[in-house]
Every structure is written in structure tokens, then in C-alpha cells.
Amino acid sequence: MPLDGRIETALQRALALVQTSSAPPLLGAALPYAIFPGGARIRPTILLSVAGACGDDRPELADAAAAALELIHCASLVHDDLPAFDDADTRRGKASLHRAYGEPIAVLSGDSMIVLAFEVLAEAGAVHPGRALRLIRALAQRTGAAQGICAGQAWESEPVVDLAAYHNAKTGALFIAATQMGAISAGHDPEPWQDLGTLIGSAFQVADDLKDALCSADVTGKPAGQDVALARPSAVRSLGVDGAWRHLEDILSGAIASIPSCPGEARLAKMVQAYARRIMDIPTAAVRG
Amino acid sequence: MPLDGRIETALQRALALVQTSSAPPLLGAALPYAIFPGGARIRPTILLSVAGACGDDRPELADAAAAALELIHCASLVHDDLPAFDDADTRRGKASLHRAYGEPIAVLSGDSMIVLAFEVLAEAGAVHPGRALRLIRALAQRTGAAQGICAGQAWESEPVVDLAAYHNAKTGALFIAATQMGAISAGHDPEPWQDLGTLIGSAFQVADDLKDALCSADVTGKPAGQDVALARPSAVRSLGVDGAWRHLEDILSGAIASIPSCPGEARLAKMVQAYARRIMDIPTAAVRG
């Protein structure tokens, strides 16, 4: 099955753990609203690609890991959109969850998706309990208060920000989870896969900075020029447009070079190259073409 | 070690998973603020008592389960206190977390404690991966959107409320988690332990209704008479004070009778009786003495 089909099926199966029973109607409707239709599903795609490169000998575990990771991402979007954070009116082209269902249901939807992520991994764990526990630890570490996306968001409440820690946690954490959980699903050591996750996360961050600086709101779906307007740290602010562009190319070459030796190494390198082309497309369209 | 010592030590050990590393300072300070000093720690006390009654052959797993359960409870208090829900100024005799640290850190503290609960169970799981995965599933089920405390809180956003589902999820869920996770920690089947958790949860609910009706705010630490003032469902409203009192006695006898056959059955029955006396003390002091 193509990766996108596997991801959507895994998410539907995860949601069935909640919807087959007696959830309160609003919360029961808010969860699929938060999960479908998705964005690019880039994190679970990376996860399944790495699992594939490592042999993917327990595809049901890789599918559960992909669903769990995307659930955490969806939860973070719902909570980040809340009035206490970004106070966003829209998300993925429709009303943000708290605008559609109210703030209490938005808080509880985020909480429920975090819980469901771990439940999905535990449910799938029967085929290999040891790997399932390692997946749960990896996901928790990249979600939680020390180095996870909770830490990343919490840095925004600090008067003095450790910029490296902020970017690693806010953007990098779930990409590191993606590569490492892909490896764990297939029984490989996650350690050598950390660099690839970190570098893909950095590329994503720099590409986002370039888009913010160069593209109109029509292209990105977000207001343009926000980094400068809000004095946010940005690769474009510190390196200039050309410098940020060269930095992005360096990061992507580094990402491909960092791929650990594994059965599907060549195919994974092609996937990262294709991802790189996609990342670099939007600024190219806006600036160079 | 006495149970309360085990619980505090287990919670400190859980928190060390976050604090030894580079958490953002405010979030790193908010987590211990949310966890210490605790309330009665009634849920982890029940969990460890049931584990003890079942032989407690993996005390490190029972300790992790007790910490995980209390972390979920603490997370629910922080999120329930948010302006979108109860908008509480105080909790356990000090400022509520969002009053002390701001709303963003309060949302993220709750999220982080949910994540930490599952991380603690996965970390302790090496001694018995199968039991650890069963603990994670049991905790997720009693926390999540179908029958867990997320469902319980979400029922309050519904125009029409299924009262039995509401009480079971809002109050009962974590007591069922307590008895079932105690059994699982010690390698026993959790199924026969559900009734005890349900009945302790019901007793807790009816005692709370009696306290609300009979005690001053000085005694309960909460405004009195809120159930009638807010037209909330309450055992006192539907049965009267004497009826609710008899109902509470019936529930507690039923709870003792429901204890499954196990090595420490007699001792556990004494513990539930002692708990029952403590539950019934406050209304007695207010009304009968």
C-alpha cells in the first residue's frame, strides 16, 4: 500500500478506539475534525520511509507509530491555536477547532489525542512489547517538557530564550521522533537516526523562514512577513535571503549524507531528495521564477 | 515503606525524568508546583493497596503506576482550573497554576504531565513489558475521550447529559484505573477489580454531594451549596440528605463485599473501611456532632 494510504488507514483505526464506544457527542465529533483531512502528513511519511529503509518487518507497529506521531502533531496544532497561544481563527482551510467547537472541547480534544497516541502504541504492542515500549519512550521524550514540543512551545513564555533549544524542541523534536520511531518499529537502533531527524527539522525551519520572508499569504496560507513584524528569530533575519538559501541547501545535503547504512539507504536518499525539491519549490516559484 | 512515602518518592522519581534535563525554566518550575504538596493522594493509595493485596511482586511497577495515575489526576486539576472551565483562583490552598504561571504554561503543564505519566510507565516497563503495556492501556482508557476523565469533562459541554456516563467518566474513571492498575502491577486479572473502583468512585461522589450540601466553605475548601445554586445533578438533590446518607452506607458495604478473592483480601477490606470512616467523617462533624 502507498504510504499515504497506510497513514490514513492507521489514523482511522486509531480513531475507532474512541468512536466505537460512548464518547460525548461533541468531543466525539471534534476528534475527526482535528485529524481529517490532514496536511502533508510529512512526519508519519518520514517515519514509514525510515521503517521501510530498515526492512519494515513489523508493519503493524510502524503503522501504529505513524498514527501516534501524527496524533501528537494534531494535538499540538489544536492547543497552539488556542486563544492563550496563537488565537488562530483558521487551520488547514477551515475554522480552528476552538472556533468550531468551543475552547473547552479544544483543550479536551488535544488532551484526548495525546492519550490516544500512547493507547495506539500500547494496543499494537502485543506483536513486540519491547519495541512498543521503546516507541512510547521515544514519543514521550520528543513530546514532553524537557526536549519535546511542550518544551518548544514553553520557550515562548520565557523572557530569555535559548534559541537552539527552542528550535530543536519546537520544530526538530517531532522530526527526530519520526526518524527514530521508524527505526525502532523495524527493530533498528534509533541512535544513528537522530541526525537525519534534526537536519530535516532544521531544513523545515529555514524553508519556513524563507517562505515567510518571500511568499504572499496566498501561497503559504499564513500572513506573510510575520517574522520581521514580530521580531522573531529567523534564518533570513540573521543570514539574509541568499545566505538562508545556501544554508538550506547545505542542510539538505547534510541530511542525505547522514542516512545510516541500512538495506533501503539508496531509496531513502531519493525520498529525502524529493522532499528537498518540494521544500525548495515554493520560494523558487516566488523569487526565481 | 509506608504507602505515602512510596507515592511521594515515585512522583519525585517521575519528575526527575524532566528536571534533570534542559526544560524551559517556567515549565520546569510549574510541574513540581502542580504535583507538590499533594492532596490526599487517594487514587495512588488505593492502587498500591490493591497491588499489596495481590502480592505486589513487582513493587517498582506498582510505584510507577501510582505516580502515573497521580500525574494524570494533577494534569486534570490544572486543565479543569483553566478559565475555559472552572476559572479557579486557588487549588490546594495556593494560587491555581494558571494564576501563578499564566495560561500558556498551565495548558503545557497539563499536556506535559499526561505525557510524563505514560513515559514513567514505559521507563519502568523493562521489568515486565507485558504488564507495562497493560498498565498503559488501562490508564489511557480511563483518561481518554470515550470513557475517561476527558469524556467526563466533555459531558459538561453537552446540551443533554447522560448522567450515568458523566459520573462514571468524570469521577469513577480514575478510581477504576486505581483498582485495575493495582491488580495489573501485581500480575492479576484487572476485570474482577472494576466494581471496587466503580463503587469507591460512587461513594466519593455521594460524599462530595453531602459535603456540598452540609458543610461550610471552611470545611471543604470550596464554596458551599454550589450543586443547588448551579442546578447540578446531586445525590442530595435527588434523594434528600437522609436518603443520600443511606445510599452512601450501601455503596460502601457493597464496595467491601466486591473485593475479589486475593491473598490480602482481609487487610484491603480494613483499608476500605478506614477510608469509608474518613469519607463519612466530615458530614458527621457538620451535621451529627
Q: What is the mean pLDDT of residues A123-137?
A: 97
Q: Which residues contact A147 (CB under 8 A, 6 or more apart)?
A: A141, A165, A168, A169, A173, B21, B22
Q: Which of residues 135-164 of B touch A (CB under 8 A)?
A: 136-137, 140-141, 143-148, 150-151, 153-158, 162
Given pLDDT bands bounded at 50, 70 and 90, which one contains residue B84? very high
Nine cell digits for residue A44:
508519519
Q: Which helix (H) or strand (E) holds A26?
A: helix A25-35
Residue pair B248/B280 in contact by the 8 Å Cβ criterion: yes
CATH superfamily of B1-160+173-186: Farnesyl Diphosphate Synthase (1.10.600.10)
- Preceding omega of B24 cis (within 30 degrees of 0): no
Checking if the pLDDT of A225 tops 90, the result is no
Residue pair B75/B30 in contact by the 8 Å Cβ criterion: no
Q: Lowest mean pLDDT: which of A30-44, A109-123, A204-218?
A: A204-218
Q: What pLDDT, on the 0 to 100 scale, is given for residue A230?
A: 64
Mean pLDDT, chain B, whole residue set: 91
Question: What is the rounded (10 degree) CA torsion for B224, B228, B233, B236?
Answer: 70
State pLDDT tens for residues B276-287: 877 777 545 454
Count other C-beta atoms under 10 Å from residue B232's C-beta: 12
State pLDDT tens for residues B48-76: 999 999 999 999 999 999 999 999 999 99
CA nearest neighbour of A283 among A203, A195, A202: A203
Single-letter amino acid, residue B49: S
How many CA atoms within 13 Å lie on the side-chain side of A158?
A: 19
Checking if the pLDDT of B183 tops 80, the result is yes
Nine cell digits for residue B2:
509506608
Q: What is the mean pLDDT of residues B210-232?
A: 70
Interface probe, candidates A17, A22, A133, chain B, greatest B C-beta count within 10 A: A133
- For cell 453537552, the residue is B158
Could you give the CA distance from residue A153 to residue A159 in angstroms, rounded to a whole number?
A: 13
Interface probe, candidates A35, A78, A98, A112, chain B, greatest B C-beta count within 10 A: A112
State pLDDT tens for residues B10-40: 999 999 999 766 799 999 999 999 999 999 9
Cα A220 to Cα A50, A225, A280, B244, distances in angstroms:
28, 11, 13, 60
Domains of chain B, by residue range, sit at 1-160+173-186, 189-289
- A245 burial (CB, 10 Å; 0-12 / 13-18 / 19+) is buried
Q: Lowest mean pLDDT: which of B193-202, B209-218, B262-271?
A: B209-218
Q: Which helix (H) or strand (E) holds A94?
A: strand A94-95
Residue pair B80/B171 in contact by the 8 Å Cβ criterion: no
Could you give the CA distance from residue A86 to residue A211 in angstroms, rounded to a whole number?
A: 19
Nine cell digits for residue B194:
472494576
Contacts of A17 in chain B (CB under 8 A): 146
Give the DSSP letter string of chain B.
--HHHHHHHHHHHHHHHHHTS---HHHHHHHHHHHSS-S--HHHHHHHHHHHHTT-S-HHHHHHHHHHHHHHHHHHHHHHTSTTTT--SEETTEE-HHHHH-HHHHHHHHHHHHHHHHHHHHHHGGG-HHHHHHHHHHHHHHHSTTTSHHHHHHHTT-SS--HHHHHIIIIIHHHHHHHHHHHHHTT--SGGGHHHHHHHHHHHHHHHHHHHHHS-HHHHSS-TTHHHHTT---HHHHHHHHHHHHHHHHHHHHHHHHPPS-TTHHHHHHHHHHHHHHHHHHHIIIII-
Please name the fold of domain A1-161.
Farnesyl Diphosphate Synthase (1.10.600)
Q: What is the mean pLDDT of residues A242-262?
A: 94
Q: Lowest mean pLDDT: which of A2-11, A34-43, A159-168, B258-267?
A: A159-168
Q: What pLDDT, on the 0 to 100 scale, is given for residue A289?
A: 37
Q: What is the mean pLDDT of residues B192-218?
A: 88
CB pair distance less than 8 Å for B104 and A154: yes
The question of ipTM being above 0.85 is answered as yes
Could you give the CA distance from residue B212 to residue B191 in angstroms, rounded to a whole number?
A: 33
State pLDDT tens for residues B99-138: 999 999 999 999 999 999 999 999 999 999 999 999 999 9
- Pick B137's closest partner by Cβ from A75, A82, A119: A119
CB pair distance less than 8 Å for B146 and A84: no
Closest chain A residue by Cα to residue B146: A23
Q: Which residues contact B38 (CB under 8 A, 6 or more apart)?
A: B7, B8, B11, B70, B74, B92
Could you give the CA distance from residue B54 to residue B69 in angstroms, rounded to a whole number?
A: 18
Could you give the CA distance from residue B121 to residue A133 in angstroms, rounded to a whole number?
A: 9
Given pLDDT bands bounded at 50, 70 and 90, which one contains residue B46? very high
Q: What is the mean pLDDT of residues A79-83?
A: 97
Count other C-beta atoms under 10 Å from residue A13's C-beta: 16
- Preceding omega of A37 cis (within 30 degrees of 0): yes
* Chain A CB within 8 Å of residue B105 CB: yes
Checking if the pLDDT of A228 tops 70, the result is no
CB pair distance less than 8 Å for A123 and B132: no
Could you give the CA distance from residue B211 to residue B72 in angstroms, rounded to a whole number?
A: 25
B182-205 b/e with 16+ CB inside 10 Å = b?
bbbbbbbebebbbbbbbbbbbbbb
Mean pLDDT, chain A, whole residue set: 91
Cα A276 to the chain's mean position, in Å?
A: 16
CA nearest neighbour of B190 among B241, B250, B137: B137
